[in-house]
């Protein structure tokens, strides 16, 4: 790791804002779209924790006010909308800004060879004296890749939103003709933002909206000097979101462990045999849900196709075909599960009985017949309980000390009852004598 890296990845790195100008109050957020479907924008505006509204209305204590410039959400259009972008490119904005890039970055040199462009916004002549007037009288559009190159070095942070921006995604799949790539590839290994951060990556196709807004919040709080450096993994992903596999948080993981698998969609069991890659994919959607803690892939019956991963889509294609590894891990789960499942059913039966039902051997449910445990089951439960309590001071009828205390308290209570009865008798006798 170079000295530069150590400076960046240490919590001792104090943002310049905090050192020189005091905490920042306002941050411009420039949203740029490369080769994207706008799905990441839709995911971001659906975020709830925090929501875009909370961010732009400064409703989070300590968070600077965010002035969002977004081509789809903006009220302004045309030159009025583009002017802040141009100012930032010219270095005339006079304010702190971050860049949020959605979609992959196409190789615009390829498009320029034929006089075209892949992804553009605004007109280049406003920042480039060599701007080109086209045959129809309009100015050559400003490729967002070029704008990214201009804006990134002056940005407090560059955040790649979604898998296309982070790793290249679908536009960079094998066979693509645009030489599309992620922001990190485009800016290079040595890129650092004005405040020393490499590119931050929030992958997902589309990412969870809350993952986007939470990352923006965490980064801005750090840059404003009011929060610690968020933990990122070696690929610049927020570590607290992407450290674990989706499988570990999947509501169907218990079925996998017991070796029971869905054979068709709509069944409740583990989906690995239908093509789920969850056991190896780093994603938090099963825990966090897709929108407002609802939905999200296997929560609603869908398999994982690895959309957060750098290898997506090629590494996980063909979709809907079981991953090769499932033959080993799935078979092992089946074998282990065939022992574990019946044992669990036995202890589950015990957990479904009250002490009273065990004693009376009758379960008075009006909803259906529940068989009382027979001799075999009772014997199993007896030994099970022995093992359960061995080595522990706990005993169903109390520890020795508890039993002693109980005897003592019973004796005290009995003496108290006796004494109060005697007093009642004495009172009654005294009243008779009167
Ligand atoms: S559905 Fe996928 S993520 Fe869930 S338990 Fe099965 S393999 Fe794992
Ligand atoms: S579970 Fe898989 S397919 Fe679903 S969002 Fe996560 S990585 Fe993408």
More confident residue, 39 or 402: 39
pLDDT band at 17 (very low <50, low <70, confident <90, very high): very low
Output the pLDDT for position 9: 41
**Sequence-ordered alpha helix ranges (H) in 274-399:** 285-288, 326-351, 355-360, 375-389
More confident residue, 398 or 168: 168
pLDDT band at 62 (very low <50, low <70, confident <90, very high): confident
Output the pLDDT for position 134: 74
Q: Stretch 124-132: mean pLDDT, rounded?
A: 65
- Torsional class of 427: left (φ above 0), alpha (ψ -120 to 50), beta (otherwise): alpha
Distances (CA, A) of 295 to 173, 214, 302, 350: 27, 19, 10, 34
* Atom 1 in ligand 2: residue holding the nearest Cα: 304
Atom of ligand 1 nearest to the CA of 279: 8
Q: 329 alpha carbon to ligand 1 midpoint, in Å?
A: 12
Strand partners, 158: 99
DSSP string, 20-48: II-S--EEEEEEEESB--SHHHHHHHT--
Cα–Cα nearest to 17, from 101, 100, 95, 99: 95
Q: 305 alpha carbon to ligand 2 midpoint, in Å?
A: 6
- Percent with pLDDT over 70 in the chain: 93
* Atom 5 in ligand 1: residue holding the nearest Cα: 253
* Atom 6 in ligand 2: residue holding the nearest Cα: 283
Q: Stretch 285-298: mean pLDDT, rounded?
A: 95
pLDDT band at 433 (very low <50, low <70, confident <90, very high): confident
- Percent with pLDDT over 90 in the chain: 67
Output the pLDDT for position 1: 35
pLDDT tens sequence across 86-122: 999 989 999 999 999 999 999 999 998 988 899 999 9
Q: Stretch 323-345: mean pLDDT, rounded?
A: 89
Output the pLDDT for position 10: 41
pLDDT band at 260 (very low <50, low <70, confident <90, very high): very high
Instruction: In whole angstroms, give the CA distance from residue 187 to residue 172.
Output: 16
Is the shortest distance between the CB of 208 and ligand 2 below 6 Å?
A: no
Is the shortest distance between the CB of 285 and ligand 2 below 6 Å?
A: yes
More confident residue, 164 or 372: 164
Q: 275 alpha carbon to ligand 2 midpoint, in Å?
A: 12
Q: Stretch 297-303: mean pLDDT, rounded?
A: 96
Ranges 24-28, 69-73, 127-131, 382-386, most confident: 69-73
pLDDT band at 3 (very low <50, low <70, confident <90, very high): very low
Q: 308 alpha carbon to ligand 2 midpoint, in Å?
A: 6
Q: Stretch 246-266: mean pLDDT, rounded?
A: 96
Output the pLDDT for position 21: 55
Q: 4 alpha carbon to ligand 1 midpoint, in Å?
A: 40
Q: Is a pLDDT exceeding 70 seen at residue 299?
A: yes
Name the closest ligand to CA 162.
Answer: 2
Is the shortest distance between the CB of 307 and ligand 2 below 6 Å?
A: yes
Q: Stretch 49-77: mean pLDDT, rounded?
A: 93
Q: 192 alpha carbon to ligand 1 midpoint, in Å?
A: 37
pLDDT band at 125 (very low <50, low <70, confident <90, very high): low
In whole numbers, what is the pLDDT of the chain averaged over residues? Answer: 89
pLDDT band at 403 (very low <50, low <70, confident <90, very high): confident
What residues does ligand 1 touch, defined as CB less than 6 Å away?
246-247, 250, 252-253, 256, 270-272, 276, 278-279, 298, 304
Output the pLDDT for position 19: 40
Q: 273 alpha carbon to ligand 2 midpoint, in Å?
A: 16
Atom of ligand 2 nearest to the CA of 298: 1
Atom of ligand 1 nearest to the CA of 252: 5
Q: 397 alpha carbon to ligand 2 midpoint, in Å?
A: 50
Q: Is a pLDDT exceeding 90 seen at residue 302?
A: yes
Output the pLDDT for position 129: 64
Contact status, residue 343 vs residue 349, Cβ threshold 8 Å: no
Q: Give the other-Cβ count within 10 Å of 115's Cβ.
A: 10
pLDDT tens sequence across 139-152: 889 999 999 999 99
Instruction: In whole angstroms, give the CA distance from residue 409 to residue 422.
Output: 20
Omega before 206 within 30 of 0, i.e. cis = yes
Task: Please name each of the domains of the chain with its CATH number.
Answer: 3-238 (3.40.50.700), 244-340 (4.10.480.10), 353-417 (no CATH)
Is the shortest distance between the CB of 308 and ligand 2 below 6 Å?
A: yes
Is the shortest distance between the CB of 246 and ligand 2 below 6 Å?
A: yes
Q: Stretch 238-256: mean pLDDT, rounded?
A: 97
Q: Stretch 248-270: mean pLDDT, rounded?
A: 96
More confident residue, 325 or 171: 171
* Atom 3 in ligand 2: residue holding the nearest Cα: 304
Tell which one of 248, 260, 278, 281 to mutate to probe ligand 1, the residue whose CB is within 8 A of the most ligand atoms. 278
């Amino acid at each position: 790791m170079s000295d530069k890296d150590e400076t960046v990845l240490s919590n001792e790195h104090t943002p310049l804002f905090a050192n020189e100008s005091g905490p920042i109050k306002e941050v411009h957020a420039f949203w740029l779209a490369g080769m994207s479907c706008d799905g990441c924008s839709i995911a971001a505006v659906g975020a709830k924790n925090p929501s875009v509204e909370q961010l732009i209305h400064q409703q989070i204590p300590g968070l600077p006010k965010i002035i969002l410039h977004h081509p789809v959400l903006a009220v302004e259009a045309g030159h009025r909308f583009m002017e802040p972008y141009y100012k930032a490119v010219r270095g005339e904005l006079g304010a702190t800004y971050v860049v949020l890039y959605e979609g992959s970055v196409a190789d615009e040199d390829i498009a320029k060879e034929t006089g075209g462009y892949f992804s553009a916004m605004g007109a280049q002549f406003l920042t480039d004296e060599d701007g080109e007037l086209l045959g129809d009288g309009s100015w050559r559009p400003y490729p967002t890749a070029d704008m990214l190159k201009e804006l990134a070095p002056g940005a407090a942070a560059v955040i790649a939103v979604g898998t296309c921006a982070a790793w290249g995604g679908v536009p960079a799949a094998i066979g693509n003709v645009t030489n599309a790539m992620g922001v990190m590839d485009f800016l290079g290994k040595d890129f650092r933002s004005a405040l020393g951060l490499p590119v931050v990556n929030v992958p997902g196709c589309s990412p969870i909206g809350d993952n986007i807004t939470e990352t923006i919040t965490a980064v801005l709080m750090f840059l404003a000097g009011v929060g610690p450096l968020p933990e990122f993994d070696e690929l610049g992903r927020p570590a607290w979101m992407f450290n674990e596999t989706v499988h570990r948080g999947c509501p169907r993981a218990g079925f996998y462990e017991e070796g029971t698998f869905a054979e068709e969609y709509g069944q409740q069991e583990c989906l690995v045999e239908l093509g789920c890659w969850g056991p190896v994919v780093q994603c938090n959607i099963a825990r966090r849900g897709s929108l407002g803690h609802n939905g999200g892939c296997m929560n609603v019956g869908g398999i994982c196709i690895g959309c957060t991963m750098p290898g997506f889509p090629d590494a996980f294609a063909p979709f809907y075909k079981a991953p090769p590894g499932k033959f080993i891990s799935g078979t092992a789960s089946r074998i282990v599960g065939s022992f574990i499942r019946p044992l669990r059913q036995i202890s589950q039966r015990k957990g479904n009985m009250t002490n009273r039902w065990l004693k009376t051997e009758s379960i008075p449910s009006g909803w259906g017949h529940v068989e009382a445990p027979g001799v075999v089951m009772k014997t199993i439960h007896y030994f099970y309980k022995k093992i359960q309590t061995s080595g522990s001071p706990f005993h169903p009828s109390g520890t020795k000390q508890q039993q002693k205390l109980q005897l003592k308290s019973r004796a005290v209570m009995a003496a108290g009852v006796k004494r109060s009865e005697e007093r009642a008798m004495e009172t009654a006798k005294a009243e008779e004598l009167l």
